[in-house]
A = this chain, B = another copy of it.
Amino acid sequence: MNQDITEKLQEIFDADTGIYQQRGFQRRVGFGSRPALINIDLANAWTRPGNPFTCDGMDTIIPATQDLLAASRAKGIPVVYTSTAYEQPTGPNSDTGLWHLKIPVEVLKVGTEAVAIDDRVAPLEGEQVIIKKRASGFHGTHLASFLNAHKVDTVIVTGVTMAGCVRHTVEDAIAEGFRPIVVREAVGDRVPGVVEWNLFDIDAKFGDVEPLERVLSYLESIEHFGVENVAGSSGS
């Protein structure tokens, strides 16, 4: 069925692309010079079987992310992970906001194995793991000011899900002033079609969807990430 869906959707995308091109959409945001790697919700609830949040495609997503992690760390760029987790599903101290009214966030408990980052793509000591409460990695977190303080200009995005947290993060990223680059092989979801149509929308309006190989070449080409005179340095 996937093959069939892909073909059907491609037919629509081709028609849409004709209109977008004529209207001046689908431009390239391009790569900047100070990237960060942002890994969205690559925690066990999403990357392993048996959870309502389990996603497909980990055979591709995990190795692609491993490659990106290695290339990013080689250049010393900021590496950020997000996970989504809650202290309290109900009552006056509940931190789920209204989201439990739409999706089963009540299974995502702070401090459990389910919301820990998958150890195949584990963070190194000191890399930020941001526990977010909403879809976007930017919403209600210090991500924007973290990136801004480091004068990051480009965010390379991996993870899941395309129809949820990855898309909202990418929309917020360009809104905040960062160039979003979504790595085709490193993103996924849990139902057919949504990866394709969300990548299509993003590439038309919010960020560039690029193959892994091109992103790795870019990372190889940049200078090592210096912190002189910015956040993390020892003075002015």
Contact = CB atoms under 8 A, between A and B. Distances in A.
A63 B25 CA distance: 28
Interface of A is mostly: loop
Given A28-B102, A168-B175, 6 more contacts: A23-B53, A93-B127, A97-B145, A140-B140, A146-B177, A148-B148
Given A97-B149, A98-B231, A102-B174, A134 B142 contact: yes
Interface string A109-138: 000000000000000001110001111100
A194 interface: yes
A48 interface: no
B140 A145 contact: yes
A232 B174 contact: no
Contacts of A135: 171, 175, 205-206
How many of these chains are in the complex?
4
Contacts of A206: 102, 135
A57 interface: no
A236 B177 contact: no
Interface residues of A, number: 101
B94 A232 contact: yes
Contacts of A194: 16, 197, 201
Closest 8 CB pairs of A and B: A30-B236, A149-B177, A94-B232, A140-B142, A148-B177, A24-B104, A16-B191, A134-B175
Contact of A31 (B15, B31, B232, B236): B236
A19 B126 contact: no
Interface in A132-169: 132-136, 139-151, 153, 163-164, 167-168
Name which of A23, A177, A206 has the most chain B CB atoms within 10 A of its CB. Answer: A177
10 contacts: A27-B235, A29-B236, A31-B236, A80-B93, A87-B126, A92-B227, A97-B142, A101-B179, A148-B177, A153-B230
Contacts of A5: 12
Interface string A167-207: 11001101111110000000000111110011001001111
A211 interface: no
